[in-house]
Amino acid sequence: MSINITLFYSILHLLVDGICAFAMFAIFLPQREGMLFLILYNFCAFALQMPFGVILDMLQIRLEQRAHFYIKLQLDQADAMPENKNWLATKDFFAIENKKQMLCLITVAVGLLFTILGTVTHPVILGIGNALFHIGGGVGTIHEDTAKNWNGKGLGVFVAPGALGLYLGTIAGKNGIRNSLLWIMCALLAGLFVALLYLWNRSINGKKNKQIKGYELLLKQMQLKQMQLKQMQLKEMQLKQTLCLAVCCVLVVILRSYIGMAVVFPWKTTALSGLLAVLAIVLGKMAGGIIGAKYGFGKTTIISLLFAAICYIGSAWMLMGIAALLLFNMTMPITLYLLVSKLPQLSGFCFGLLTFALFLGFLPEYFGLRAIVNGNIIGSVGSIISLLLLQYCFIDKNKGKIKKSSN
């Protein structure tokens, strides 16, 4: 039996962001310290993801190092006793990835607990829960995406539902829908997580009973991990390239976040038009991962951002504005995949870094710094700048060729 953990994480993502938005608008913002609560919540939810991601990376790297030593010992025993090769391979092959995924599940569980507690205590607790969930769910999705060779599809599926959850939670909170809905959502959240644990446990037990074409497969996996560890020992030029890529990805996310806050559409005046805009964002994020994995991230980036720049110019019309939102958000999973594929052992740090960039993009609007040009110009110019930054990420300075986007 095999389950799609990413699908569960995606549904939980929608619920967690919906609960947090609902709690903020229905419970905390109406209080006298509402603006302070909003700042504290956003800081915890966004800025804390990076340190939480680093901690999760360190735990997983240490787990991997210990597991590699143990597997090497098992291989030595298998050489001495050939009849035990299959048994040893079957027993230990899934141990590393299962334990890494379990660390992610524990992080998600703590995040869900803090999220539920935060609705009745303080926005700081709520924000910590949100940050822990996103790191656990994001890194868990990255592991499954890598293990199943999805090449970024899973990232788009995971990040997309959050925008819909925020919108629905905000609408519910602003319109005075009472706390009974909040508790229903919390109960659904807990129930889904219990179902995920149950199905995941059954999946693991099923895998343990399979015979693996053991010795060769296990050896290939060890060699792959060793190659990844060697790639992490970067030379000076490779380190510079990695830093440049990280800076470009961060700048793209800051731009995307700022444009999302700064561009105001004149047609977005009703609940229906707002829902259509959010659905365009959700579909754009999902499509970016799926289309990019199939046709190449370089081509997807060029086409989506060029057309986004054109559509933003005419975004005063509803259809053009919705198209601009969909196309512009297609690069969301692409930026994450680019950074994670460059630093595969630091996926938690990558996820947290780009989330912190989202937070930085919010700040100008929070502090009332308004743009001096129209929103359609900001969106169009921002799309072109994002395109140039991302294309720099794809270009190999030494060869002058477009890089392949696979690991």
**pLDDT given for residue 309 in this prediction:** 96
**pLDDT given for residue 73 in this prediction:** 57
Q: Residues 6 or more apart from 327 whose CB is under 8 A from it?
A: 284, 304, 305, 307, 308, 311
Q: Which long-range contacts (CB under 8 A, 24 or more apart) does 26-29 make?
A: 26/172, 26/173, 26/174, 26/176, 26/177, 26/178, 26/179, 26/182, 27/119, 27/173, 27/179, 28/123, 28/126, 29/173
Query: Do 21 and 118 fall into the same domain?
Result: yes
Q: What angle do CA 258, 259, 260 make, to 5 degrees?
A: 90
Query: Do 147 and 288 fall into the same domain?
Result: no
Query: Do 264 and 388 fall into the same domain?
Result: yes
**pLDDT given for residue 223 in this prediction:** 55
Residue 350 covered by a domain: yes
Q: Residues 6 or more apart from 146 whose CB is under 8 A from it?
A: 344, 407
**pLDDT given for residue 69 in this prediction:** 60
Residue 403 covered by a domain: no
Mark which of 181, 211, 233 sits at the end of a domain.
233
User: What is the model's pTM?
Assistant: 0.83
Query: Do 248 and 120 fall into the same domain?
Result: no
**pLDDT given for residue 397 in this prediction:** 40
Measured distance CA(383)–CA(324) in Å, rounded = 10
Range of the domain at 257: 234-398
Q: Which long-range contacts (CB under 8 A, 24 or more apart) does 237-240 make?
A: 237/398
Q: What angle do CA 394, 312, 250 make, to 5 degrees?
A: 35
Q: Residue 291: which of 146, 138, 405 has the closest Cα?
A: 405
pLDDT average per 10 residues of sequence, the chain (407 residues): 75 91 91 91 94 93 72 56 46 65 89 91 95 94 87 90 91 76 73 71 54 47 55 56 89 94 90 93 94 91 96 94 96 93 89 93 81 84 94 63 42
Query: Do 306 and 209 fall into the same domain?
Result: no
Residue 407 covered by a domain: no
Residue 77 covered by a domain: yes
Q: Residue 386: which of 328, 312, 338, 322 has the closest Cα?
A: 328
Mark which of 233, 254, 286 sits at the end of a domain.
233
* Residue 8: alpha-carbon gap to chain centroid: 14
Q: Any idea what the CATH number is for the domain that residue 316 is in? A: 1.20.1250.20
Mark which of 173, 201, 233 sits at the end of a domain.
233
**pLDDT given for residue 241 in this prediction:** 77
Query: Do 252 and 384 fall into the same domain?
Result: yes
